[in-house]
Structure 1
Amino acid sequence: MQIDCPFEKIYPSALKRDAEYFMTHAYNEAIEAWKKDEVPIGAVIEYQGQIIASAHNQSRSTNDPTAHAEILAISQAASFIGDWRLNECTLYVTKEPCPMCSGALVIARIGKVYYGLPDPRMGCVGGALDLGALPDSNHNFESVSGVLQELNHDILKAFFEKKRQDNVAKKAAALKASTETSEDAQTQT
């Protein structure tokens, strides 16, 4: 199912491959998620200056609660490299990773993480806690917050506002249908 997304993809210049360049590609993945009625979070993994993995959330379409953008990108990157250790790789993700994804980043030994939108309640690479910096962990990684933060905030905010509006409209339609059915039943008696 294709859903209209009010946000448009951005095509950065390939001349300057910095954090914003890679985050823009993650943002474009988030737009793809929206179009599939998924929470618009996107991720890319960079290795030696090239994007080797890109993904967006697919939990709803696959009925798989683990099908987060980060998990899918980690799997693609490991397959591309031929090793589960991603020490030389950098993840760019539009929203701070959740506990599950942050744990996977530690296990995959990701080199570095850039994220757009911090999540002080559930984020686990600097928000609620920082799994990438646990003192007794077998692996630590550096994380950088706020890359294209406003852009990533805007798409998530708009998505959830639309979801709330859709839910209100569905409830109103269901209430109207229920009321009409009750009135029809009373009229027939």
Structure 2
Amino acid sequence: MIVADGDLPFTRLKLSLDEEEEEISAIRTMQSWVVDIPDPRHITTMLKCLKRSGLESPSLAHLKRIRKQGNISSLLISTSPNPPCLPSDLSLPSPYQLPVPCTAALTPTSLQLKCTLWPTVYTPRRKWEPETWSKGTVRWAGRAITHVMLEASKARAGGELPIVAHVPSPYREEDQFPMSFTAHDTRTSTRHPLRHAILNIIRSVADYRASEPSLDSSSSQSTTFNTLINSESDDSDVPRNGARYLLTGLTLFTTHEPCVMCSMALLHSRVKEVFYVVPMQQTGGCGGLACLPSLKGVNHRFGIARWNGTVGGAESLDVLEIDPTIDA
């Protein structure tokens, strides 16, 4: 049975990947060289010249090459700092510079505004459709959250920061990844500044994938990083594992919003989605201080959600209290 979005025990963070630029003052522009072509017969010749000269670059692919105003057609040439050389036999006027939009139009309003500067391509953003969740999936996630809460309590009792990460087997896809992993922050006991829970669990998954043990997929198996972290092996004995991404298709549950460093590690590991209980406004990399999956130019994006359902009562949330300036 599908659970309605409003009834889910978490709030999804909608990644804002691009600015819509729906005010003329918000439109980002760049200077481009333009030449007026009084004789329409010369347009085809000039377009061929652009191709031959290598000026037809992707940087202007979001703009139309020709603008018509009355009887005059204008050709968009390039964004080079120096004026381009034009064919002398066409007797064209001198090129000049104009501000043109830096990006395509995402909305009808943006399109109308950008076209006042230069004819712009309209590429409406595809409607975001979140993955549907069944009651079974919600129960699976709830068990994962309960697990990290219990482990956080144990970590605090042991003198560690109560920051825990957990990667369960995918719901109804245990044969795809039969193991589950749990790790807590060990910066206190190891006196190592990089022993964050997220980095610990990624390394735990890496060690598992590198060892490639023979497993009975019908049995429930779990591993933690807590013993691995206290008995480091020589890195030269561990097989290289760059051939595959570590968290592809997997969901990570954690007590606290990952810091910027851990968020980047999750991005490079190709995690599917991240659920956290406590937001970290001053240090978080999943919507707090920054939102790494929404940055322009990153080569992977993962889902982010804050768990706001039952986590065991107010006592459990008190267990998670840490300095808000800590990188979780």
User: Does residue 202 of structure 2 align to residue 74 of structure 1?
Assistant: yes
Kindly tell me: are residues 76 and 135 of structure 1, through their superposed partners in 2, closer, same or farther at Cα, counting changes over 3 Å?
Answer: same
CA distance in 2, matches of 1:145, 1:38: 23
CA distance in 2, matches of 1:147, 1:44: 17
Offset, 1:127: 1.2
Correspondence for 1:21 among 102, 119, 143 = 143
Correspondence for 2:168 among 17, 23, 46 = 46
What amino acid does structure 2 have at the position aligned with 1:63?
R
Larger Rg: 2
| Larger displacement relative to structure 2 (109-118 or 27-36) | 27-36
| Larger displacement relative to structure 2 (53-62 or 22-31) | 22-31
Q: 2:252 aligns to what SS in structure 1? A: strand
Pairs within 5 Å for 1:8-157: 17-49=139-171, 52-82=180-210, 83-148=244-309, 153-157=317-321
Please say if residues 52 and 80 of structure 1, whose CA atoms lie closer than 8 Å, have aligned partners that are also in contact: no
**Count of equivalent residues:** 146
Offset, 1:114: 0.3
Offset, 1:84: 3.8
CA distance in 2, matches of 1:151, 1:45: 24
Offset, 1:46: 2.0
Aligned-pair identity (%):
32
Greater share of residues in helix? 1
Gaps (5+ residues) in structure 2? Answer: 1-135, 211-243, 324-328
Structure 1, residues 113-162: CA drift from partner, whole Å, max 9, x if none?
000011111111111111122231011101001345766642133x67xx
CA distance in 1, matches of 2:292, 2:262: 10
What amino acid does structure 2 have at the position aligned with 1:75?
R
Q: 2:204 aligns to what SS in structure 1? A: helix
Q: 1:55 aligns to what SS in structure 2? A: strand
TM-score of the aligned structures, taking structure 1 as reference length? 0.68
Please say if residues 160 and 188 of structure 2, whose CA atoms lie closer than 8 Å, have aligned partners that are also in contact: yes
Kindly tell me: are residues 102 and 15 of structure 1, through their superposed partners in 2, closer, same or farther at Cα, counting changes over 3 Å?
Answer: closer
Kindly tell me: are residues 116 and 152 of structure 1, through their superposed partners in 2, closer, same or farther at Cα, counting changes over 3 Å?
Answer: farther
Q: 2:289 aligns to what SS in structure 1? A: coil
TM-score of the aligned structures, taking structure 2 as reference length? 0.41
Gaps (5+ residues) in structure 1? Answer: 1-13, 161-189
